[in-house]
Amino acid sequence: MEHLDQLENISIHILREAYANFKNLCMLWSIGKDSTVLLWLARKAFLGHVPFALVHIDTSYKIPEMIKYRDELTRQWHLNMVYGMNTEALESKQTFPDGNADRLTCCRLLKTEALKNTLSGRWPRYRFNHSEGKYELDPNTEPYTGVIAGVRSDEEGSRSKERYFSARDRQSEWDIADQPPELWSQYKTDFAPGTHVRIHPLLDWTELNIWEYIDREKIPTVSLYYNQGDGKRYRSLGCKTCTFPIESQSRNVKEIIEELKSGQLANIAERSGRAQDAEDGGGLETLRRDGYM
């Protein structure tokens, strides 16, 4: 557990550094295990309060339990919850489920473009109104210049090239070769005006660390991660049309931890159930260079 304590301390330090250095800060919450651990860490870092907006990009094709879970925690923890959506692409049916786009085009429209325009304030954002118990148009259109994300370097190839504080240009595009070194826990937080910065407090965590932390902290997760009796579970979550479960007998957090420790999944990529990765040559670099998470 000492290693988990060290990871927790570093992540909390990064979160506090981000809050101290970026005026318009938000955190991406995909509802998956990593960003939910990140949300838990944010609540620890700020004594039970999350002092910035949580942003979810809703493709309208998420597994229903994910959206239900999002809204339940939003109410329970009184979160400043915002979502964005590419309504134009959905209304014109330029999506993979409607058959008018391939998977990568669908991801670019519903995820990358929606994310970039939601963060920039160019598209409408919808904020949860706790007094009314529903989402309403957010009058705030100020762009977010610092964006916290639950990226882990071990999850997928292009993510291993990230920094804790990773700059994007005004179009949210990522120049992998142009990133500052981060040595001896020294982080660059001073960037030129107009720079869009992604912040990655979980960068050095592993999938096993995430589940060990979920177990230690008793963090609530969606049941999709566990075998419900059919010998399958989701290892990574996304849109229901492009995300598939893996063969697994793990019915709870402890069994997932044992499954990972045993090496049963050693030759199976964590995102092997994400169909868009296969169409992007086995990774996400094309989408991520253009601004995807």
Distance (Å, whole) CA 293 – CA 281: 17
Query: What per-residue confidence (pLDDT) applies to 54?
Result: 98
Q: Which residues, 6+ apart, have CB-to-CB distance to 194 below 8 Å?
A: 169, 170
The pLDDT score that the predictor gives to residue 108 is 92
Decide which of 3.40.50.620, 3.40.50.10190, 3.40.190.150, 3.40.50.300 is the CATH code for 2-205+281-289: 3.40.50.620
- CB of 106 closer than 8 Å to CB of 95: yes
Backbone angle region of 78, left / alpha / beta, with phi > 0 → left and psi within -120 to 50 → alpha: left
> Using one digit for the tens of pLDDT, what is the confidence trace for 36-78?
999 999 999 999 999 999 999 999 999 999 999 999 999 999 9
For residue 147, the surrounding DSSP H or E stretch is strand 146-148
pLDDT for res 193: 72
Residue indicated by tokens 């009314």: 132
Considering the entire predicted model, what is its pTM?
Answer: 0.88
| Residue 137 DSSP SS3 | strand
pLDDT number for residue 153: 86
Domain boundaries defined on the chain: 2-205+281-289, 207-277
| Beta-strand pair 134-137/126-129 | antiparallel
As a whole number of angstroms, the distance between CA 197 and CA 146 comes to 5
Local mean pLDDT, 10-residue blocks, the chain (293 residues): 92 95 93 97 97 97 96 97 97 93 92 93 96 96 92 71 74 61 67 80 95 98 96 94 94 97 88 68 55 54
Question: Given this model, what pLDDT does residue 169 score?
Answer: 61
pLDDT at 23: 87
